Amino acid sequence: MEKFELTILGCGSALPTTRHFATSQVLNVREKLYMIDCGEGSQLQMRRSHLKFSHLNHVFISHLHGDHCFGLIGLISTFGLLGRTAPLHVHAPENFGSMLQSMLDFFCKGLDFNIEFHPVDTTRHTLVHEDRSVMVYSIPLRHRIACCGYLFKEKELLPHIRRDMIDFYHIPVCEINNIKNGKDWVTEDGQVIPCSRLTTPAAPARSYAYCSDTCYLPGLSSLVGGVDLLFHEATFLHEDLQRAQETFHTTALQAATLARDSHVKALCIGHFSARYEDEAVLLDEARSVFAHTILAKENLNIKI
Amino acid sequence: MEKFELTILGCGSALPTTRHFATSQVLNVREKLYMIDCGEGSQLQMRRSHLKFSHLNHVFISHLHGDHCFGLIGLISTFGLLGRTAPLHVHAPENFGSMLQSMLDFFCKGLDFNIEFHPVDTTRHTLVHEDRSVMVYSIPLRHRIACCGYLFKEKELLPHIRRDMIDFYHIPVCEINNIKNGKDWVTEDGQVIPCSRLTTPAAPARSYAYCSDTCYLPGLSSLVGGVDLLFHEATFLHEDLQRAQETFHTTALQAATLARDSHVKALCIGHFSARYEDEAVLLDEARSVFAHTILAKENLNIKI
């Protein structure tokens, strides 16, 4: 099966701890890498997760708190040292554009590749990026500053050719792509063999939704409903609900409630407050509502 | 003995590896912390080394390549979240001032403490900072951009009081500080007891010199001569001398030669190129010239 897998580079929250890096993740879709947020240390964590820098062409930033974006300038700087030539696309809230440009002008003179900045309207659910593998949509969130999540929808894969049928009907190789794309086969004596008999369906297209940082938004169900994996922040335990509300964060219980109500297949929680020495308490709380919950962890790889 | 010790937070060079963080160190002088360079991840590494954020009031930046300064904005941001009120002094090449201010304005609005920026003239050997514990001097270096090292000279400690002599002469407690500061004691019958008989000398003042990044500069001997510990970059093996010269870096052999010719007590080498999987080769090369060489390593603590 073609790759659609998530690697957690960092899942701590704003304050550094000995246990976590700041927020960053990489989604691998068919060997193309999509980074979501880029906290300090993300480039180091990419190395540790053995993710290839050259396969990363898109970075999506949820919001401009440092623990979600301070690693970007270092990553770009390293790409420059490595002689990168392919453009890097940065999708982020609009006001980041000029700041990023100032930092590039100061720290990264003479790059051999372009940084293409794509402003994201965090207040709307819109298509942010599309290529042959995925469609990426923004998910409006509510945090102390402009913030959005990202929804990755894999594009339908072509069906698999049935080698036995191809051999049986002596179908030439040059026809295979046509058949995959839906063309029926007509034998020499005029018999029509429907393409569905010559192929087996591809695995269903997969989807991943990333929601961090945000207060609890039950309405997100309509956007993330049924995804294969939902990452949702769970900064606090529900006993710290007041603190969660004050800081526009979510509790583990709330994240799990959203997962349950959205009928997602699995939930991964992260963005843990530094106050919890052992995050198993967050996992336990979430699982009490939604069993298919996993705890984010640095360098964890989740096959979707 | 009062503390004078160095903690290595990161000793890699520009390209990230799974083995090293970017350059940063902390010198602890009598429980005051002085940070030298602040590469990405320095705040995390401070946590891991159990160094107290609140004891850090001065950061010295050698030059403005990212692997020596990209961690500063994250560190400052964290100080803000922790409610710091004490000013933080940043000593760095002059042109960093306006860039730092732009980043602060964008990412760190409403800090409850001041960032005091002190431009450093990297072309001159001058006093950069002085307090009750240390004098800090710049050390002009030669790199691809403006760059200087830093020389830390501990101030003389007061001598130790000899408790037995104080008791013998019935000297009141209120006189102890005067005696430590050089006043003799006169007994009731007029006998003068020289303060040197009432005290034992303090340990000699210590010194630490940091030199990174730079090409080999034999002339540095006059500035770092006799220091207790010299940190010097040793990015390359001497067999890669040409690459070292092109990039304005130093080989392990050259660093050790400088240490030997400067009659320093010990040498610590760091800023290792990512090309060496096992840095023991750098250590071996340096020790062939200067035996008292140690290899920098993340979270290594060196008591000087």
The overall average pLDDT reported for chain B is: 96
Of B67, B213, B228, B240, the active-site residue reads B67
Set of chain B residues whose Cβ sits within 8 Å of the Cβ of A44: 16, 18, 21, 40-41
- Nearest-Å Rg of the Cα atoms of chain B is 22
| Range A241-265 average pLDDT | 98
Q: Name the residue among A17, A22, A103 with its Cβ closest to that of B47.
A: A17
Domain with CATH 3.60.15.10 in chain B: 4-157+206-303
- pLDDT higher than 80, residue A90: yes
The secondary structure of A270-291, three-state, reads ECECCCCCCCHHHHHHHHCCCC
Interface of A with B (CB under 8 A): 14-18, 21-22, 40-41, 43-44, 46-48, 64, 66-67, 70-71, 73-74, 77-78, 81-82, 99, 102-103, 106-108
Pairing of strands A207-211, B229-233: unpaired
pLDDT over 70 percentage in chain B = 100
Q: Do B81 and A16 touch (CB under 8 A)?
A: no
Could you give the ipTM of this predicted complex? 0.92
Average pLDDT in the B82-88 region?
97
Lowest mean pLDDT among A172-181, B6-15, B63-72: A172-181
Q: How confident is the model at residue B2 (pLDDT cuts 50, 70, 90)?
A: confident
Average pLDDT, chain A: 96
Quick one: CA torsion of B196, B198, B203, B207, rounded to 10 degrees? -60
pLDDT of residue B136: 98
pLDDT at A241 over 80: yes
Quick one: which of A8, A82, A15, A46 has its CA closest to A235?
Answer: A15
Asked about A67 being catalytic, the answer comes back as: yes
Suggest the residue from A45, A52, A54, A70 to mutate for an interface test with chain B (most B CBs closer than 10 A). A70
Q: Please report the beta strands in A54-133, taking only residues with DSSP state E, as ranges in sequence order.
A: 56-60, 88-93, 115-120, 127-130
Is the separation of the CB atoms in A156 and A182 below 8 Å? no
Q: CATH 3.60.15.10 in chain A, residues?
A: 4-157+205-303
Helix (H) or strand (E) holding B38: strand B32-38
- pLDDT exceeds cutoff 80 at B1: no
Give the distance from residue A48's alpha carbon to the nearest chain B alpha carbon, in angstroms.
Answer: 5
- Record: contact A15-B71, CB cut-off 8 A: no
- The minimal CB distance from A21 to the residues B44, B77, B106 is found for B44
Domain spanning B4-157+206-303 has what CATH number? 3.60.15.10
Q: What radius of gyration, in Å, describes the C-alpha atoms of chain A?
A: 22
Q: Is the pLDDT of residue A2 over 90?
A: no
CB contact under 8 A, A16 and B102: no
Segment B260-287 mean pLDDT:
97
Contact assessment for residue A238 and residue A269, using Cβ atoms and an 8 Å cutoff: no
Q: What is the pLDDT of residues B171-213, one digit of tens each?
A: 999 999 999 999 999 998 999 999 999 999 998 999 999 999 9
- In order of A30, A127, A202, A299, B264, the CA distances from A131 in angstroms are 12, 11, 19, 26, 59
Q: What is the pLDDT of residue B131?
A: 97
pLDDT tens digits for range A290-299: 999 999 999 9
Q: What is the dihedral of CA A74, A75, A81, A87, to 10 degrees?
A: -130
Query: End-to-end distance of chain B based on CA atoms, in angstroms?
Result: 10
Instruction: Determine what percent of chain B is predicted with pLDDT higher than 90.
Output: 97
Both tokens of B166, joined, read: 């104080």
Q: Point out the residue among A14, A18, A44 whose CB comes nearest to the CB of B16.
A: A44
Nearest CA in chain B to A16: B44
User: Which residue among A16, A82, A102 places its CB closest to the CB of B43?
Assistant: A16
Q: A122-165: per-residue pLDDT in tens?
A: 999 999 999 999 999 999 999 999 999 999 999 998 899 999 99
The percent helix, strand, coil of chain B (3-state, each to 5) is 30, 30, 45
Distance from CA of A120 to the nearest CA of B (A): 18
Task: Find the residue in B nearest to A106 (Cα).
Answer: B99
Give me the CATH topology for the region A4-157+205-303.
Answer: Metallo-beta-lactamase; Chain A (3.60.15)
Rounded to 5 degrees, φ, ψ at A191 are: -75, 130
CA distance A43 to B40: 9
* Residue B53: pLDDT band with limits 50, 70, 90: very high
**pLDDT surpasses 90 at A229:** yes
Sign of CA dihedral A221, A238, A247, B116: negative
SS3 A231: strand
The H or E element that residue B302 is part of is strand B301-303
pLDDT score at B72: 98
pLDDT surpassing 80 at residue B58: yes
pLDDT of residue B16: 85
User: How many beta-carbon pairs under 8 angstroms link A with B?
Assistant: 86
